Amino acid sequence: MNKELVEKIKNDPNYKELVSKRNGFALKLSILMLAVYFIFILTIAFVPKVLGTPISPDSVTTIGIPVGMAVIIFAFVLTGIYTKRANGEFDDLNNKIKNSIKDKQ
């Protein structure tokens, strides 16, 4: 890719919008995932009895197991949310950028 084409893409308003929206959305999802994960870890560190409580009196499984699984599932859900938006809105902006560059050549 030549430098001229790179500059055209960088100066395209759709490219700037794409980068801004994508980075902002990714940052929000990352902060959300980190918050959930750190709350889980801090609970283990400072209040281990909460997650160490058995689900039922006869059970050897503690509350921590389903909560830990929920953290993992939450990560997959956030990935799905990002992918859905990336395949929709972000791809549309990407196609606009491609078309505008083709039109200028």
**Mean pLDDT, residues 28-39 taken together:** 98
Which amino acid, 44? I
The whole-angstrom distance between residue 68's C-alpha and the CA centroid of its chain comes to 19
Cα distance between residue 91 and residue 74, in whole Å: 24
pLDDT at position 77: 98
Q: How confident is the model at residue 105 (pLDDT cuts 50, 70, 90)?
A: low
> Is the confidence at residue 104, as pLDDT, over 80?
no
Structure confidence by residue, pLDDT tens digits, 37-93: 999 999 999 999 999 999 999 999 999 999 999 999 999 999 999 999 999 999 999
Q: At 14, is the secondary structure helix, strand, or coil?
A: helix
DSSP string, 21-62: HHHHHHHHHHHHHHHHHHHHHHHHHH-HHHHHSBSSTT-S-B
Cα distance between residue 26 and residue 37, in whole Å: 16
